[in-house]
Chain A
């Protein structure tokens, strides 16, 4: 037999537990009230009995019988007991047939059982009573039936039934409602998530108002889904890019091989074909290498290997490396780095970033132009700029180039170059620096770093 879902839910169990704890607490509280009230009433009744006994005992012997009669006559509820016995124990006056055997003379008030004769028959009663021996040898017994305790327990029981049961039921109902509501929302979320899993990336989780925890969770998850959707679309783009980039050189290689196989008549011709094919494959490999490198940097979280990088020396080394290339193209390459400035980072990666920028600058600057590497400080920030007298980067491309995975159409067909700026951007992002591409005329790219010396 299956229980309804809400009974098995955690929320419902909690509601049940809270209801149980609440019930126990209320019962204990009522018990305490009952016990205290009972005590107080008995003490008050005992005091009254003692006072009446004192009063009757103080009367002259001949007036006691009248006093007892009057005392009992005033008792309309029939709870009072009073009797005067002679030395032999026979009743002289009052409503007790004999002295209760448990009662001792001249003692305090105590509970004793008595047998009362009523028209309906004999009845055992528990009463509070006191006995005292009079100077003339008579025994005076005064008592009172304490039925208030029973009344109180009745009232308490009623109060419990009236208060506790509805409260308990309310708890159960609230628990069941909450649990069913939660279940419903989970089911709702589940349906949406299933749709997302099935491939509908635009689906989002439902949320009502932001103050409710469940809705806040949904908003958080939706934020994550937004980010993931963007990334998945970007990845699709990359996949297409890679496919395109790889297909081109591979197609060339395949064509060369195919034609070579049918047309080549000499070893030299075949070798030329093989060289062409190898070049095509090498180009594909270099694209794969660049993409993997990019992925490695983008996925890397290794800031643990960061050290202090002295930029002045590093920039001079980059210049040293590219000077001959610039000279070959009749481009003046110079470094302006007069300050000794350091940043926290991975030296190899930063070197690669600057080298890539310089490489690009030299490549896109016409002969006789100028390329500069500058190191400067602007307030808290240290700026490494690579400038050139080339055409610069167009407004449209400037934005796009910083976007993740973006590759410019213009440079896509130049092997090894297409991912250069992406690589720089990835390295800069890894360091938490900023890449700023300035408007033309002339190219200018800044890497804005934070000063490690000043924290």
Chain B
């Protein structure tokens, strides 16, 4: 049986648990390359990857670029803000034109949910979802899972609090799906205004952070996504911090070996206190390194091999 029998990575929702596990295993095997004196292997020589980013990104884009370089793929990155998108070109036209240059993979971030799925229907290249609207961010969930697995030795049975702006968070959705599939127990926590309708079907929801953090093995903090907010979802940053911010005091409610995760970029003093972000339980920078390993794994599984059973 093939480790990952799909042509694309569009989301976590449709993946089988053993497919997720084989991405994590591959990432773990690749992690070591980042510590070598020469951080480059010839695996994807001659493959071309286009990074098509319609939304701002530092971590995800840099992480994909590093992963591509380490695996020797040729890559080009296109930021929509400095491209023909500004001249009114549609997503399909942009993709069709890029595809005429014969890339093997397109990594896309877009503000519209479903944009990667749309490309997958119209392009020959393998499509990787690097975040689509408030829908999914599969590589983020995978790197969070890899970080948890490295530190805890397992995912199954872990109690994981996911706290913050759940409404706008693709990270929360991908993580809830992934954690549930691998047997963890995610709990969502947000103010009532930042809970998307229907989410309680996927995981229990609480509006009290103390309750969510109580006995947690890990706490995933979500960024307050001001750029997506059109109205007043909460009175002020200060009040949000008082009611929903992760402080040292609140961390004490969790298990003694709790892990604190944040997908970045952080709003210090809003969803997370600086002492916590920089504290001993924080694995935020591990997440960044693991992000490169996970993206290498996705590149390798989609572009390496023929997809034939081994």
B partners with A: no
